[in-house]
Structures are given as structure tokens and as C-alpha cells.
């Protein structure tokens, strides 16, 4: 269970104001909201890439700031937004770096490390690609490599910052299905920032809508995602049609 | 695929090792008096003509070994610096790191000659302070390629001026410094090797510990943090190590530029940026390059000896311009 209490944070244009939230354990939570609403900032606060000015975050009833670096890296993995080019490592080498929190500067890989690396590649369907160079893979395959690396960290919590950006729709759906399976079969708590409201609604158990640094609302996706919400948060007039859990959003200006 | 990559790495390893051995051979053999391989082996065993023994064992051998270490240190320093600064154009000679070491070394030589044995330490501190200063000057939520180069070139100019200033003030003692300044191995003897060796060996051993952190840093700052790494500490340690290596090389070899730029760059193009291979292969390549260049520098215009730094600058500067151009195109 992850709980945030009265978070305040300000850095340039990125502001979080008096944010209190909880993320259910073992479920998939989607954080959505317009650009600049503070979704990525919130994720960085949870992962301690940024530190709040005041307020506190608790992971399993323990203050986030009290975790040691490596201890935290065994508890929580995160896929940051892809900005830099991938180095010239093979898939296997890249996934191996997921074991870093369990090693020191000189220690080599143990048998356990090797087994976990094999397992992580198998779970993400990368076994066939293990000797390929990461930067020679497609965007979707690269994301799978990063997920495998996170799995090799053997954490209970996985954070993802806009994992579907730059992917075509085929790879997007494949990725969301993979994440759903990871959550269901491995029981890993997933929290992700998403741009696509449809995916948030269809693949998440829990949805948080951010607006101007605050949680506008949260709850079960098909109760949260309404035509009213689109008007108030995204300032568009649109119709929502559900097919099962999957919503179609049709703007009125269209 | 993986096999092919490993084969390639080994191939390059053997090619570099072979060219290193050849460089040692021609370094010992070529010169005003040329020495045949039989005479060389005899001399190394302490047999044969005493003139050859003096030439090979007392004059050329220490110079060749110093060249090997200077080259290895410079190339390793460049390889690490390029990684830390995320900048393939970072070279201790271009961005003023060597000049920082040089200034402190000159001050030691001219003002405190009685502390000559501390020369490597002084050069290290000069190099380290300069690196930190460049990094701080270029820092603005991350240090960009261009800013580092600009700050570095400015520092290089300033440090050059300071060196000249010190030399003018102590012009009566300046003769010994001049040849050192242009980067030469002229007159380097067993004595110089002896006091450089501990620093060089320590630096090269420390490189082994730098491999894993340097590789993790390739994943990006945030990713390294998320793997439980203390990114600021790693970066500081790598900068320290890079300065230590540059300082060691500068204290004996003077201002030799471009080795730290050219060699790691070529190796990276050939085998990628994985430091497990990049670092050792760069050391081999740097060692061989400096010995080749030094041998060429002392034989090309016989009887006049060019400082090896000048020769390397003539080779390296066009290469640097070529890289700059290529980057702009990309």
C-alpha cells in the first residue's frame, strides 16, 4: 500500500499542492490528466527521483525517505520516460542491470541472478532476442526490455511514466496486455501515468485524475470517466460510449 | 550475433596487442643509432656491445615504458571523462584538465622545486579542480555538450595564460619547464619511471572498479538512481579517477593532447561503449599510439627531436575538427 499525505512540491512550473492519495496494493492504478497537471511529478515523488517540500509518502507504513537507496530499489522499479538513446548493450546485458540493487561494485552474477534474468526475459517474451542489441529493436520491444529489467529487480511495485508514448497502436495494446498479465499473475502493484484515457479506463482497476497539481477525482474508471469530467478537466465537449470496459471518446467539435 | 561481437572484440584486442608489441620493438630499435633485434635482445640480457646496452636499456627502454603508461593513462582518462560528461568530445587536453594539472606542476617545478617528488600529486589536484570547475560552470540542470566544451576551452585559455605568467615571473628557471610543457618524453629515465609507476599502476587498478559504475551511468541518471545507485557520488568518483589518470600522465609526459580523445573514440566506434571492453582496449591503443608517436617524433627530423605532444596535436586536431563536423551534420 502506498499512501501520500499532504504533499507539497514546487519546481519551476511543476506544482503539487496539498495532495493526499492512496494507491491500492496489488492493483493497477492509472494517473491521467492534462499536460502540466503534475502526473509525472507525482510519479517522480513516489519513486524519490524528486523530493517533496512538505508532506510524506508511506510505502508499507514506512516513510519513503527512511528507505536506503538499494532497499528502495528492491521494493520499487520504475520506467522513466524514454529520452536518451539506449546504450549499445544486448537485451540480456540490459536485463542483467536489473540485478544491480542486489550487487556491489565488484560482485559478479550469482546463479540466482542468472535464473531471475532468464525468468524476466521469458515473462516478457524476449528469450529469442537475448543477443540482439537493444537499440536495434523496435520501440515496443525496447519497452519490453525495460520492463524485463524492472522485473529482474524483483520488486512488488512497478511505476511507469507514459509507457505507450511513441508506440504504434499494435505495440500499445500488446504492452498494456503484458502489464495486465504481470499484475494478475505476479501480483505486482502497478502505478502508471497515461495519456490515453481509453487505456486507463480499460486496463486499470483504479484511476486518478489530476488537474493543476491536485487530485481532481479518483475511483473506479468507468465511474470516474464521464462526459462531465472531460468538460471540467480537459475542457472539451465529447460523448463517451462504452463497449464493455473500453470507452470510445468522440469530441463534439469533430 | 553475440559470438560475432565477441569475435570482433577479441580480434581488436589481438590487433592492438600486436601493434603494441611492434611499437615497443621500433621504439627500442629506431633512432640515431639503429639497433637490430639480435643486438636488442643481447642488450636487454646485459650482454654484447656496451654502447648498445646504454642506448637500449638506459635511454630507450625507460622512455618506451613511460610512453606506454602515459598513453594508457591518457586514453583511460579520456574514456571515463567522455562517459561522465556524456560528451564524446571531452578530452583532458582540450577542455583544460591537463592544463590545470600542468599549471600546478609548473608552480611546483618553478616555485617549490624542493618538492619535486610531489609533482604527480600537484598535477592531480590541478586536473581535479579544473574538472570540477568546468562541470560547475557548464551546469544548468544537467551539463550540455556545447557548454562543457565552451567552458573547457575558456578554462584552457585562462590556464595557459596563467602558466605563461608564472613562467615570465620565474624566467631564470624556465628552461627545464619549456620542453616539458610541449609534451615530450625527451630525457625521461628510470628515475622518472620509478616515481610515476605507483601512481600509474594505482590508476589502472582503480579503473577496474570504475567499469561497473560507468556502465550503469550509461543507462542515464534517473535509471541509475532507480537501481539504487548514488549517482552524484559515482560521478564524483569517476571525475576524481579521470583527473588522477590525467594528472599522472601530465606529471611525466607534460601536455600531451588528443590521445584521450582519439583513442577511446575509435575504440567506441569499433566495439561500442561497454566499459568492460572500452576501457582496457583504449588503454592498449593509447599506449601503442604514444610510443609510435614518440618514436616518430624523435626520428622524423633527426637530429632534431620534436616533442611528441606537437606531433600528436598535428594528428589529433584534424581528427577533432572532423568529429565536430560530423556531429553537426548528425
Residue A28: alpha-carbon gap to chain centroid: 9
The CATH number covering residue B228 comes to 1.10.3470.10
pLDDT above 90: residue B323: no
Supply the DSSP symbol for A85.
P
Task: Kindly state whether residue B64 falls inside one of the protein's structural domains.
Answer: no
Tell me the percentage of chain A whose pLDDT exceeds 70. 99
Q: At residue B248, does pLDDT exceed 80?
A: yes
* Mean pLDDT of the residues in chain B: 86
d(CA A179, CA A216) in angstroms, rounded, equals 25
A49 touches chain B (CB under 8 A): yes
- Whether residue B280 lies inside any domain: the answer is no
CA distance A203 to chain B (A): 25
Question: In B, which residues are within 8 Å of A47 by CB distance?
Answer: 226
| Mean pLDDT, range A53-68, rounded to an integer | 94
Task: Put residue A248 in one of left, alpha, beta given phi > 0 → left and psi -120 to 50 → alpha.
Answer: beta
Among A253, A209, A249, A251, CA closest to A232: A209
pLDDT per residue as tens digits for the range A96-136: 999 999 998 777 889 999 999 999 999 999 999 999 999 88
The reported pLDDT for the residue numbered B31 is 81
Listed residue (B219, B242, B222, B241) closest to B232, CA to CA = B222
Q: What contacts A239, CB < 8 A, 6 or more positions away? A: A227, A249, A250, A252
Per-residue b or e along A157-187, where b marks 16 or more CB atoms closer than 10 Å to that residue's CB = bbbbbbbbeebeeebbbbbbebbeebbeeee
> Is a pLDDT exceeding 90 seen at residue B96?
no
Please, which residues have CB within 8 angstroms of residue A31's CB and are 6 or more apart in sequence?
A39, A42, A43, A191, A192, A193, A194, A207, A208, A210
pLDDT (tens digit, 9 = 90+) per residue, A74-97? 999 999 987 767 788 999 999 999
Q: What are the two backbone dihedrals, phi and then psi, of residue B172, each rounded to the nearest 5 degrees? A: -70, -25
- Quick one: angle between helices B61-84 and B2-29, nearest 10? 140
- On the question of pLDDT at A40 being above 80, the answer is yes
Classified as helix, coil or strand, A241 is: strand
State residue A122's pLDDT score: 94
* Residue (of A90, A173, A190) closest to A133 by Cα position: A90
Cα–Cα dist B269/B281, whole Å = 12
Instruction: Pick the residue from chain B with its C-alpha nearest to A46.
Output: B226
The sign of the CA dihedral B280, B132, B307, B300 is: positive
Choose the closest CB to A90 out of B2, B209, B212: B2
pTM of the model: 0.88
The answer to whether residue B285 sits within a structural domain is: no
pLDDT the model gives residue B214? 94
A218 touches chain B (CB under 8 A): no
Residue B175 confidence (pLDDT) above 80? no
Which residues from B are below 8 Å from A106, CB to CB? 209, 212
Instruction: Please state which of the ranges A151-155, B24-28, B179-183, B228-232 shows the lowest mean pLDDT.
Output: B179-183
More confident residue, B92 or B213: B213
What's the rounded mean pLDDT across residues A190-211?
A: 94
A214 touches chain B (CB under 8 A): no
Helix segments in chain B, DSSP class H: 2-29, 37-44, 50-53, 61-84, 97-111, 119-138, 145-169, 175-181, 190-217, 221-226, 231-253, 259-271, 275-299, 308-329
The reply to whether residue B226 touches residue A105, judged by beta carbons under 8 angstroms, is: no
pLDDT tens for A17-35 read: 899 999 999 999 999 999 9
Higher pLDDT, B287 or B304: B287
The pLDDT of B151-162, averaged and rounded, is 91
CATH of the domain spanning A2-218: 3.40.50.300
B272 at A interface, C-beta within 8 A: yes
The yes-or-no verdict on residue A244 having pLDDT over 70 is yes
C-alpha cell belonging to residue A112: 540466482
The stretch B63-70 carries a mean pLDDT of 94
Whether B221 and chain A come into contact, CB under 8 Å, resolves to no
- What is the per-residue pLDDT for B1? 64
Please tell me the total count of domains within chain B: 1
What separation in angstroms does the CA of B131 have from each of A194, B93, B134, B242, B243?
A: 41, 11, 5, 9, 7
How far apart are the C-alpha atoms of A91 and A88, rounded to whole Å?
Answer: 10
pLDDT the model gives residue B330 = 45
Please determine, for residue B2, whether its predicted confidence score (pLDDT) is greater than 80. Answer: no
| Mutation site for A-interface testing, chosen from B8, B215, B228, B275 by largest number of A Cβ within 10 Å | B228
Interchain contact, A80 vs B209, CB within 8 Å: no
Asked if residue A233 lies in contact with residue A209, where contact means CB atoms within 8 angstroms, the answer is yes
Q: Do B226 and A88 touch (CB under 8 A)?
A: no
Put simply, the answer to whether A105 touches B229 (Cβ < 8 Å) is no
3-state SS assignment for residue A89 = coil
pLDDT value for B328: 56
Lowest mean pLDDT segment, chosen from B64-78, B131-145, B284-298: B131-145
Least confident window among A66-75, A100-109, A171-180, B66-75: A100-109
Please give the pLDDT value at position A70. 94
Which of B2, B6, B226 best probes binding to A when mutated, by most A CB atoms within 10 angstroms? B226
- Is the Cβ–Cβ distance between A152 and A96 less than 8 Å? yes
pLDDT of B7 higher than 80: yes
Q: What is the pLDDT of residue B286?
A: 96
User: Cα distance from B215 to chain A (closest Cα, Å)?
Assistant: 9
For residue B44, give the C-alpha cell. Answer: 636487454
All three cell numbers of A194: 497515461
C-alpha torsion A196→A199→A204→A209, nearest 10: 20
Per DSSP, the residues of B98-140 read HHHHHHHHHHHHHH-GGGGGGHHHHHHHHHHHHHHHHHHHHBS
Q: Residue B149 sits in which domain range? A: 91-256
Q: Is residue B220 part of a domain?
A: yes
pLDDT of residue B223: 92
Amino acid at each position: 500500500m502506498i499512501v501520500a499525505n499532504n504533499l507539497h512540491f514546487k519546481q519551476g512550473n511543476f506544482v503539487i499542492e496539498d495532495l493526499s492519495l492512496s494507491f491500492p496494493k496489488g492493483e493497477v492504478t492509472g494517473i491521467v490528466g492534462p499536460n502540466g497537471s503534475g502526473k509525472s511529478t507525482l510519479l517522480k515523488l513516489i519513486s524519490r527521483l524528486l523530493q517533496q517540500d512538505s508532506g510524506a509518502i508511506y510505502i508499507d507504513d514506512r516513510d519513503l525517505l527512511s528507505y536506503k537507496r538499494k532497499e528502495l530499489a528492491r521494493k520499487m522499479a520504475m520506467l522513466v520516460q524514454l529520452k536518451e538513446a539506449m546504450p549499445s548493450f544486448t537485451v540480456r546485458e540490459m536485463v542483467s542491470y536489473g540485478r544491480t540493487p542486489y550487487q556491489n561494485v565488484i560482485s559478479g552474477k550469482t546463479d540466482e541472478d542468472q535464473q531471475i534474468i532468464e525468468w524476466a526475459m521469458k515473462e516478457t517474451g524476449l528469450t529469442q532476442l537475448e543477443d540482439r542489441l537493444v537499440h536495434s529493436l523496435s520501440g515496443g520491444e525496447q519497452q519490453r526490455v525495460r520492463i524485463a529489467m524492472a522485473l529482474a529487480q524483483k520488486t512488488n511495485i512497478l511505476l511507469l511514466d507514459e509507457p505507450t508514448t511513441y508506440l504504434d497502436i499494435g505495440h500499445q495494446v500488446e504492452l498494456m496486455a503484458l502489464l495486465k498479465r504481470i499484475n494478475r499473475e505476479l501480483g505486482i502493484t502497478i502505478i502508471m501515468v497515461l495519456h490515453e484515457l481509453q487505456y486507463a479506463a480499460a486496463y486499470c482497476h483504479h484511476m486518478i485524475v489530476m488537474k493543476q497539481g491536485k487530485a481532481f477525482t479518483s475511483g473506479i474508471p468507468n465511474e470516474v470517466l464521464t462526459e462531465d469530467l472531460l468538460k471540467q478537466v480537459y475542457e472539451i465537449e465529447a460523448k463517451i460510449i462504452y463497449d464493455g470496459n473500453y470507452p470510445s471518446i468522440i469530441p463534439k467539435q469533430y | 550475433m553475440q559470438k560475432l561481437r565477441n569475435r570482433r572484440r577479441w580480434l581488436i584486442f589481438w590487433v592492438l596487442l600486436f601493434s603494441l608489441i611492434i611499437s615497443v620493438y621500433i621504439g627500442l630499435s629506431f633512432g640515431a643509432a639503429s639497433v637490430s633485434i639480435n643486438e636488442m635482445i643481447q642488450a636487454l640480457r646485459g650482454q654484447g656491445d656496451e654502447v648498445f646496452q646504454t642506448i637500449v636499456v638506459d635511454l630507450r627502454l625507460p622512455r618506451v615504458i613511460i610512453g606506454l603508461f602515459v598513453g594508457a593513462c591518457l586514453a583511460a582518462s579520456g574514456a571515463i571523462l567522455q562517459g561522465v560528461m556524456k560528451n564524446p568530445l571531452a578530452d583532458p587536453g582540450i577542455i583544460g584538465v591537463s592544463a590545470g594539472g600542468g599549471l600546478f606542476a609548473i608552480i611546483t617545478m618553478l616555485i617549490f622545486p624542493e618538492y619535486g617528488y610531489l609533482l604527480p600529486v600537484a598535477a592531480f589536484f590541478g586536473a581535479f579542480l579544473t574538472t570540477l570547475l568546468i562541470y560547475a560552470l557548464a551546469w544548468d540542470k544537467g551539463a550540455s555538450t556545447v557548454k562543457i566544451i565552451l567552458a573547457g576551452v575558456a578554462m584552457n585559455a585562462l590556464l595557459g595564460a596563467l602558466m605563461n605568467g608564472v613562467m615570465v615571473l620565474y624566467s631564470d628557471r624556465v628552461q627545464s619547464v619549456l620542453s616539458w610543457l610541449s609534451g615530450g618524453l625527451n630525457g625521461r629515465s628510470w628515475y622518472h619511471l620509478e616515481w610515476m609507476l605507483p601512481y600509474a599502476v594505482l590508476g589502472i587498478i582503480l579503473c577496474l572498479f570504475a567499469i561497473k559504475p560507468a556502465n550503469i551511468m550509461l543507462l542515464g541518471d534517473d535509471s541509475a538512481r532507480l537501481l539504487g545507485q548514488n549517482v552524484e557520488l559515482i560521478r564524483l568518483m569517476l571525475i576524481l579517477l579521470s583527473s588522477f589518470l590525467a594528472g599522472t600522465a601530465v606529471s611525466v609526459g607534460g601536455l600531451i593532447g588528443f590521445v584521450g580523445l582519439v583513442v577511446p573514440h575509435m575504440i567506441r566506434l569499433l566495439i561500442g561503449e561497454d566499459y568492460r571492453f572500452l576501457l582496457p582496449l583504449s588503454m592498449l591503443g593509447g599506449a601503442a599510439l604514444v610510443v609510435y608517436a614518440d618514436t616518430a617524433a624523435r626520428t622524423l627530423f633527426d637530429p632534431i627531436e620534436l616533442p611528441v605532444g606537437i606531433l600528436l596535436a598535428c594528428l589529433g586536431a584534424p581528427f577533432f575538427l572532423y568529429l565536430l563536423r560530423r556531429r553537426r551534420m548528425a
